[in-house]
Amino acid sequence: MRLSALSLAPIALLTLSACGEGGAIDEGVKTQLREQLVSTCNNGMVDVPEGIELDREQVCNCVADKVLAGKSVQDLVANPPTGADEIAGVKQCLREIGPPELLPYLEG
């Protein structure tokens, strides 16, 4: 499974994070970043083989959660998520929530 690289706006993150750690601004930034991750995932996910059902929205929400897990806005500014982070999240989420028919496609 392949996803396009993330198109984050590190400068906007850096500007917003300058307002201090924590609080409503950080939550707003993380919410926007999460929405962008879900959108990028949905738009970049290639078609699954015929006959395999996949809830893209569920997978992409899982991916966004994995990519952002335990990271502050400052962490994300210092090390913005990459396409490789998103791909690793997709593989992990597909292993966790399936469908099992896709597991052979994850190897490689």
Average pLDDT of span 27-55: 85
pTM summary value: 0.70
Q: Across the chain, how many H-helices and E-strands are there?
A: 6, 0
Could you read off the pLDDT of 64-84 as tens digits, one per residue?
Answer: 999 999 998 888 888 888 888
Predicted local distance difference test score (pLDDT) of residue 108: 56
Predicted local distance difference test score (pLDDT) of residue 68: 92
For the cut 60, the answer to whether the pLDDT of residue 4 exceeds it is: no
Write out the E strands in 4-108. none
For the cut 90, the answer to whether the pLDDT of residue 61 exceeds it is: yes
Query: How many other C-beta atoms lie within 10 A of the C-beta of residue 56?
Result: 13
Question: When comparing pLDDT for 98 and 14, which is higher?
Answer: 98
Coil vs helix vs strand at 4: coil
